[in-house]
Structure 1
Amino acid sequence: MLWRAPAIALLALILGFVGLSLQALPAHAATCVPDATTGCVQGIVKTSAGDPASGVGLTLTGKGASEDTTTDENGRWSFPITQEGTYEVALDTATLPEGQFPRATDTRSVEVALFESASALFPLTDDPDAAATPTAPGSGETAGSGSGEATPGDDEATTTTKPSATNAFSWPRFWQQAASGLRMGLLLALGAVGLSLVFGTTGLSNFAHAEMLSMGGILAFLAMQLTGNIWLSGALVVVVMAAFGWVQDAVLWKPLRKRRLSLTQMMIVSIGFSIVLQNIFQFFFGANILRIDPSTPKTVTLAGITLTVQSYVAMGIALVAIIAVALVMKYTRFGRATRAVADNRPLAEASGIDVDRVIRSVWTVGVALAGLSGVLLGLVLNGIAWNTGWHYLLLLFAAVILGGIGTTFGAIVGALIIGLVIEMANIWLPGDLKHAAALLILIVVLLVRPQGLFGRKERIG
């Protein structure tokens, strides 16, 4: 068949790309991966010259726990926690490299929730006169405040942590959480658009779509090992993911459609494909968190809202991509053809539209957008793991269903609502209930409007 030669060539290209990248892959110590029952306290220790400080001892205390660890060859360390709350991280100054001293403090307090990560960084100095006075246990500086502001005079010492839901309401915190929700919504929208387009044109609920997010982030990490340029790496990932979407439809989904498999059977195939991809990712990368950008995140405060530079850049890229998709779907021939196929496939075929070509293009664009979403998520979360996409699968489906299944604009609006609800819920609810709040909103909306916000009513039976 015509698709076999390019499919084989692309597969060989991807395998070669992964092989070369794995050769350049630095060794990583086992890293904490947050999930529904685990939170992570982590950070990195570097010398005043910017080199990793390995073998430095740290101690975590709090919630009746006390754990010790040392930094790996990259200066990284992490602690898993199973109870959300406030913990104290103490730096063992006796294990610091010779001539290095803690610049601000040797003890920090962090607030961390389950399914989240909190960072505590310890900048070092080679000037003993500028060294911090040893801190008494229990009096460590807070590694993140509700507004995400760093300790004065120590701009790079901390990164923003999400405040506990037990904190009192304040308008600065409200706007901070709203900004975080907008960030989450924009990144979800990139993934939700592709999922919605595929469903609209084929009727398939693609459970493997979330793995496209993971794959995009992982490929960005590998590309950074080869190029060292984040912009070039991101562009390469989008191109490779677009090609992978094209191959997916040519090799897997179109043959299944030709064999007239039911949508239920194809959905089960997508679940199996998702599991296969997850196992491949885990086999090659284990439980490591892969940091696309190895530099220490820096925060910027605009209008009282503090986010990392990566977050602002990711939001800008996501916004531009979403606007571009909306314009294409509204004003181009491809957009009109896609809407026609989604509305009435037999009529679209009768009017001369090449339905197979439209579906192939939808897979290409949808997977490319999901890959871009994975890259941006990896930058915002300061790392990507083999199961990152799986954690967002339910939210992607919630966004698509809330906005109206099969509608591009509905997926965008639904994703923004889901993102805002998740982050805003942190103001009043514990962190482990924020996803429940978003799904509760989904249920309420569907009770009032079963077709979703932008969906059309359909007669059943």
Structure 2
Amino acid sequence: MVAGVLAGLAGTVATAAPKTPTSKTAPKPAPQEDTVRAFGVLRDGTKRLSDVKVEARNDAGKTVGKAKSSDTGAWEINLVPGNYTVVLDKGTLPSGVEVQESEIKVTLTEGSDRPVLFSFGAKRASADISSAAKLTRLAIDGIRFGLIIAITGVGLSLIFGTTGLTNFAHGELVTLGAVIAWAINVKLGLQLIPATVLAIVAGVGIGILNELGIWRPLRRRGVGLVAMLVVSIGLGLILRYLILIFFSDRSKPFDDYQIRKQIGSGAFAITPVNLWCIIISLVTILAVAVMLQKTRIGKAMRAVADNRDLAASSGINVDRVILLVWALAGGLAALGGVLFAVSELGGRVQWEMGFKLLLLMFAGITLGGLGNAYGALLGCVIVGLVVQISTFWISPDLKYVGGLLILIVVLTIRPQGILGSRARIG
């Protein structure tokens, strides 16, 4: 089902990444290791804008970097991390082309390149939207972000429910999914949609290897949950730095991903990529919910999560159920990693992206009720909403604080979480 819905993304990605020719621009020196890129593609509809000058200014107003767009409209400036204003020289635009905003403020962080999008055409009257419309946009974006957290977090919740393990290496499963999709897309030249499907299959295999190679042997040796938690932390560190060694400390883009203009207007403006991410996330979550509610294996998963000993005495093969839980968790983490990279990171993959998402996953599943899959879905969506809506009042750099704050408030009132139970019976 996921593969079928993923086909809808074909309308939101291009078939090949534009390549910048060198005929009109002098060769650029190799960027320094401590710099990051501000980059973009200048297009007015389908028309690519060449020979347009772009420069970056620091907080003092001094120009610290310049670029000129190529025949494909692509440009880039290498800068050290910091705050900048990217300015487009309106005097170099072709006749009849207008830019809506010629100056855009950006914050560049270490190891993370930043796309900068200039919009062209006459400025719409609706460009300055009301506070209510801004809040509506943020709420829609919060739902998107929350659904992605839910996709990655539901597997983490099921693992805790069936085994009692708090898996701190789950964030690396998210990163591995995105990195595998990137490698298939960029290195093998396969389009992003089938690359994502193959990454999901690889994620399932990684989840199975985790269970058979590490966690099942540890359980059979009677290793305690605290010791297993420490093992998961160590495993997470190993995987994270192996990704750093074999991938890069710099963010890298998918080949056939491009920034697209928003569709709709006012409060309901959204990019096609984000719209499809919402649709894919909803379909995936509904499929997981139906599986848990209606299928035999789903009922067995819920039974083991509710009371493992009672489920075993009822004839359920607990080891088989746990293996399938790990497979499901690995596949969902891989899908969530690709969606997170595409919608939240501007189509770029970062070596520690899953680690950054891990805290929000824990916040969501704790808020919903540890071990409860439906609680994890609800809690993650709430966390995503709070995180995005909080940017209406606070800096986006501090937005994750809002998700942790709502976690503290709710757990103070209801320690077991929204859908959690106070105690297990049996």
Q: Sort the TM-score into its range (normalised by shorter chain).
A: 0.7 to 0.9
Return 5+ residue gaps in structure 2 as ranges: 1-28
Q: Which residue of 2 aligns with 1:335?
A: 298
Say whether the 8 Å CA contact 1:89–1:109 is kept in structure 2. yes
Question: Which of 170, 174, 193 does residue 154 from structure 2 map onto?
Answer: 193
Distance verdict in 2 for CA 1:306–1:102, change over 3 Å: same
Say whether the 8 Å CA contact 2:42–2:48 is kept in structure 1. yes
Question: Which of 244, 260, 279 does residue 222 from structure 2 map onto?
Answer: 260
2:413 counterpart of 1:452:
no
Distance verdict in 2 for CA 1:218–1:51, change over 3 Å: farther
Q: Which residue of 1 aligns with 2:385?
A: 420
In structure 2, what is the Cα distance between the partners aligned to 1:383 and 1:52? 23
In structure 1, what is the Cα distance between the partners aligned to 2:234 and 2:95? 52
Q: Which residue of 2 aligns with 1:44?
A: 40
Secondary structure (helix, strand or coil) at the match of 2:348 reads coil
Question: Which of 258, 269, 283 does residue 245 from structure 2 map onto?
Answer: 283
Say whether the 8 Å CA contact 1:193–1:412 is kept in structure 2. yes
Deviation readout 1:41-72 (Å, 9 max, x if unpaired): 72234799999989x98531142264226589
Q: Which residue of 2 aligns with 1:88?
A: 86
Say whether the 8 Å CA contact 1:113–1:432 is kept in structure 2. no
TM-score by length of 1: 0.74
Give the superposition deviation at 1:109: 1.6
In structure 1, what is the Cα distance between the partners aligned to 2:69 and 2:230? 41
Moved more, 288-297 or 434-443: 288-297
Give the superposition deviation at 1:170: 0.9
Give the superposition deviation at 1:108: 3.1
Q: Which residue of 2 aligns with 1:9?
A: none
Distance verdict in 2 for CA 1:426–1:210, change over 3 Å: same
Say whether the 8 Å CA contact 1:198–1:204 is kept in structure 2. yes
In structure 2, what is the Cα distance between the partners aligned to 1:404 and 1:72? 51
Distance verdict in 2 for CA 1:51–1:223, change over 3 Å: farther
Question: Which of 395, 409, 412 does residue 374 from structure 2 map onto?
Answer: 409
Give the superposition deviation at 1:227: 4.1
Moved more, 287-296 or 344-353: 287-296
Amino acid corresponding to residue 335 of structure 1 in structure 2: G
- Report matched runs for 1:112-261 at 5 Å: 112=106, 119-121=115-117, 143=118, 150-152=119-121, 170-225=131-186, 226-261=188-223
Return 5+ residue gaps in structure 1 as ranges: 1-27, 122-142, 144-149, 156-162
Give the superposition deviation at 1:81: 4.2
Say whether the 8 Å CA contact 1:218–1:290 is kept in structure 2. no
Give the superposition deviation at 1:88: 3.3
Distance verdict in 2 for CA 1:41–1:222, change over 3 Å: closer
Amino acid corresponding to residue 87 of structure 1 in structure 2: T
Secondary structure (helix, strand or coil) at the match of 2:211 reads helix
Distance verdict in 2 for CA 1:196–1:459, change over 3 Å: closer
Say whether the 8 Å CA contact 1:213–1:373 is kept in structure 2. yes
2:341 counterpart of 1:371:
no
In structure 2, what is the Cα distance between the partners aligned to 1:174 and 1:303? 14
Moved more, 395-404 or 222-231: 222-231
- Report matched runs for 1:34-113 at 5 Å: 42-45=38-41, 58-64=54-60, 66=62, 67-68=64-65, 75-83=75-83, 87-90=85-88, 104=98, 108-112=102-106
Instruction: Between the two structures, name the one with larger relative contact order (CA 8 Å, sep ≥ 6).
Output: 2
In structure 2, what is the Cα distance between the partners aligned to 1:168 and 1:239? 43
In structure 1, what is the Cα distance between the partners aligned to 2:32 and 2:330? 28
Question: Which of 272, 277, 281 does residue 309 from structure 1 map onto?
Answer: 272
In structure 2, what is the Cα distance between the partners aligned to 1:406 and 1:78? 45
Amino acid corresponding to residue 401 of structure 1 in structure 2: T
Distance verdict in 2 for CA 1:63–1:413, change over 3 Å: same
Secondary structure (helix, strand or coil) at the match of 2:215 reads helix
Distance verdict in 2 for CA 1:278–1:103, change over 3 Å: farther
Give the superposition deviation at 1:111: 3.2
Give the superposition deviation at 1:199: 0.4
Give the superposition deviation at 1:91: 6.0
Q: Which residue of 1 aligns with 2:10?
A: none
Moved more, 168-177 or 188-197: 168-177
Give the total of aligned pairs.
384
Q: Which residue of 1 aligns with 2:318?
A: 355
2:358 counterpart of 1:393:
yes
Say whether the 8 Å CA contact 1:60–1:68 is kept in structure 2. yes
Amino acid corresponding to residue 404 of structure 2 in structure 1: L
Give the superposition deviation at 1:285: 2.2
Give the superposition deviation at 1:420: 0.5
Give the superposition deviation at 1:230: 1.8
In structure 1, what is the Cα distance between the partners aligned to 2:378 and 2:50? 45
Q: Which residue of 1 aligns with 2:236?
A: 274
Between the aligned residues of both structures, percent identity stands at: 34
Amino acid corresponding to residue 370 of structure 2 in structure 1: I
Distance verdict in 2 for CA 1:58–1:407, change over 3 Å: same
Give the superposition deviation at 1:313: 1.3
Distance verdict in 2 for CA 1:273–1:319, change over 3 Å: same
Give the superposition deviation at 1:441: 0.7
Say whether the 8 Å CA contact 1:188–1:396 is kept in structure 2. yes
Give the superposition deviation at 1:376: 0.8
Distance verdict in 2 for CA 1:89–1:233, change over 3 Å: same
